Amino acid sequence: MAKKGINIWNVCCLLLYITTAVLASRDFYKILGVSKTATIRDIKKAYRKLALQLHPDRNPDDPKAQDKFADLGAAYEVLSDEEKRKQYDMYGEDGLKEGHHSSHNDIFSSFFGDFGFMFGGNRQQQDRNIPRGNDIVLDLEVTLEEVYSGNFVEVVRNKPVAKEAPGKRKCNCRQEMRTTQLGPGRFQMTQEMVCDECPNVKLVNEERTLEVEIEQGVRDEMEYPFIGEGEPHIDGEPGDLRFRIKVLKHPVFERRGDDLYTNVTISLVEALVGFEMDIVHLDGHKVHIVRDKITKPGARMWKKGEGLPNFDNINIRGSLIITFDVEFPQTQLDDQQKDGIRGILKQGSVQKVYNGLQGY
Amino acid sequence: MERLWLVRWQLLLLPLLLLLLSNCEGRESELNYVTCGSLVKLLNTRHNVRLHSHDVKYGSGSGQQSVTGVESADDANSYWQIRGKPARPCQRGSAIKCGQPIRITHMKTSRNLHTHHFSSPLSNNQEVSAFGENGEGDDLDVWTVQCDGIYWDRDEPVRFKHVGTDVFLGITGEQYGHPIRGQREVHGMSTPNQHNLWRTMEGVFIQPSQEPLRHDEL
């Protein structure tokens, strides 16, 4: 064959290969709605939010719901794994074909629990007659830094799971009244224990990883439930695992709602002549403060937008309220310094006597 | 045509090699250590019962909430949370070191595993109770984890030694009658032996988290 012919043939094949590769592979970053430089935390946060929105149970009228949901699962599976993400960034989806596929159900239930979404998350609507295992409540301590920026906590749940075993067992045992006839017109009522026969079950310990999100602005005592991750019930459903948020005290900031309070001690000189300083915030950014007037002890400064994000709308923030107190010089003044001060400050003697505890 | 195949082959091989190499690195995962804040069930390895408490008070001794050993594996009243000393909280997700002082708090009643100079009802050893309110009790709530190695391994049987009275948490097999029929007496004993070994079973094991994002202004 002519040399020219081979080259054209090669180029055509390559073009075909590239176009099919581009068309077949999905843009995982776009599916999750995150940038190419997104951190693992951003990715988890995006998945959790979208999974709730895109779940097929939530979109019964959308014929594409299953596909969109499957795409979401695939996107998370790749971008949440360091190695897979690297391969994907370099070679696209085609570079990934090996070692694929944890089921999307596994991923979904690590964020929401076993029965996660099936009943619209509303357990109470279920048939009350099904016995339920115990609930587990875990107090999860979070720092104010985590409340400000959000975080994810990975947790390994080791729990007993009912597995089929050979043979039968007694189940649904209950007391029943039996009436036996002793003779004409004479009856006896006895109480008897009656059981059904069920397939035998044994409890085997299994482990799985769960992802708990500490959402920005989360409040004390808020709970994150994982359906079905509680204690099993041999004749019924497992209970739930709930993470109860406990916000720890902070050495610098005090939380009141969405506002943060802090105190700053300045010197007497700074209080009189002014000062400039930075306060390091919970995520490391600096809040700049400038004073060129006299600052009285107990004076407050309001910094809007420097508080905590609001849980329901993280675009709204509270304020940072700074209260100043003044530290007086430690050494005593000599006569010359005293005269100097009297001269500079030119403040007359005041000496007002009043009841300070009753607002006079 | 052949050259194209060769290039593609190389392209596939390279990421595979990278994957293989990364898997060979030994990454020190916290997955097998017991960490601060975790919820665990503790199994006595000699008697095969789990540490347990409930809203039932001792009829003698201190009259405080009783602590027992139970056979069932699916009772939420057998969950205990591992926490730091009073006023010295441990960092959530950090592995507990051997010798580290901890509090063991009963999940359902928020009372701490506690022992003191009272006699246990069945064996006359030292009574072990669940004490405090909302997770706060007193200095007799503190125990140290006795184990080999650096950290408390989830699969390793360990001992719990009380800070204050120096006894070991243990069981010798005495059983209660009604209303907690079959449950074993848990008490403090003075010497370490086979009866005071415990290992973690079911639970919720918290992994260490990354520090939240810090934006350092350049």
Token pair 């999307």: residue: A104
Token representation of residue A105? 């159900």
Using the Cβ of B212 and the Cβ atoms of chain A, whether some distance falls under 8 Å is answered with yes
Q: Cβ distance B37 to B14 under 8 Å?
A: no
Q: What distance in Å separates the CA atoms of residue A234 and residue A196, rounded to the nearest whole number?
A: 14
Using the Cβ of B74 and the Cβ atoms of chain A, whether some distance falls under 8 Å is answered with yes
Facing residue for A156 by CB, picked from B1, B31, B73: B31
Using the Cβ of A255 and the Cβ atoms of chain B, whether some distance falls under 8 Å is answered with no
Residues 6+ apart with CB under 8 A from A260: A253, A254, A306, A307, A308, A318, A319, A320, A321
Facing residue for A232 by CB, picked from B74, B210, B215: B74
Does an H or E element contain B204, and which?
Answer: strand B198-206
Using the Cβ of B6 and the Cβ atoms of chain A, whether some distance falls under 8 Å is answered with no
Instruction: Please give the residue of chain A at the shortest CA–CA distance from B22.
Output: A83
Partnered with residue A322 across adjacent β-strands are A262, A301
pLDDT value of residue A194: 83
* pTM for the predicted model, two decimal places: 0.80
Using the Cβ of A239 and the Cβ atoms of chain B, whether some distance falls under 8 Å is answered with yes
Instruction: Please give the residue of chain A at the shortest CA–CA distance from B217.
Output: A285
CA distance A222 to chain B (A): 17
For residue A198, count other CB atoms closer than 10 A to its CB.
13
The residue type at B29:
S
Cα B166 to the chain's mean position, in Å? 19
Task: Give chain B positions within 8 Å (CB) of A132.
Answer: none
Cis omega (within 30 of 0) on the bond before B179? yes
By C-alpha distance, which of B107, B19, B114, B136 is closest to B63?
B114
- CB contact (8 A) between residue B215 and residue A283: yes
Q: What distance in Å separates the CA atoms of residue B167 and residue B143, rounded to the nearest whole number?
A: 9
Average pLDDT over residues B145-163: 95
Instruction: Please give the residue of chain B at the shortest CA–CA distance from A6.
Output: B1
Q: Quick check: helix, strand or coil at residue A95?
A: helix
| Angle CA A343–A347–A351, to nearest 5 | 130
- CB contact (8 A) between residue A283 and residue B22: no
Cα B7 to the chain's mean position, in Å? 54
- CB contact (8 A) between residue A146 and residue B18: no
Average pLDDT over residues A185-197: 83
Domains and CATH numbers, chain B: 31-215 (2.80.10.50)
A47-91 residue pLDDT tens: 999 988 888 888 888 888 888 888 899 899 889 888 889 888 888
| Angle CA B142–B97–A247, to nearest 5 | 65
Q: Cβ distance B123 to B172 under 8 Å?
A: yes
Q: What distance in Å separates the CA atoms of residue A304 and residue A321, rounded to the nearest whole number?
A: 8
Facing residue for A153 by CB, picked from B4, B16, B206: B206
Facing residue for B39 by CB, picked from A14, A136, A142: A136
The ipTM (two decimal places) reads: 0.81
Could you tell me how many CB contacts below 8 A there are between chain A and chain B?
A: 119
- CB contact (8 A) between residue B212 and residue A140: no
The percent of residues in chain A predicted with pLDDT above 70, rounded, is 89
B23 vs B161: which has the higher pLDDT: B161
A291-319 burial: b if 16+ Cβ within 10 Å, else e = beeebeeebeeebeebbbbeeeeeeebbb
By C-alpha distance, which of A105, A106, A73, A111 is closest to A225?
A111
Instruction: Please give the residue of chain B at the shortest CA–CA distance from A39.
Output: B213
Q: What distance in Å separates the CA atoms of residue B121 and residue A201, rounded to the nearest whole number?
A: 37
The answer on pLDDT for B212 being more than 70 is no
Q: Quick check: helix, strand or coil at residue B168?
A: strand
The alpha-carbon radius of gyration of chain A (Å, integer) is 34
Instruction: Please give the residue of chain B at the shortest CA–CA distance from A231.
Output: B74
Average pLDDT over residues A137-166: 92
Domains and CATH numbers, chain A: 25-93 (1.10.287.110), 153-245 (no CATH), 254-345 (2.60.260.20)
Facing residue for B213 by CB, picked from A99, A149, A154: A149
Q: Cβ distance B135 to B113 under 8 Å?
A: no
A326 vs A10: which has the higher pLDDT: A326
Q: What distance in Å separates the CA atoms of residue B1 and residue A10, rounded to the nearest whole number?
A: 7
The percent of residues in chain B predicted with pLDDT above 70, rounded, is 83
Instruction: Please give the residue of chain A at the shortest CA–CA distance from B79.
Output: A136
Token representation of residue A188? 């006896």
A98-110 residue pLDDT tens: 655 566 778 888 8
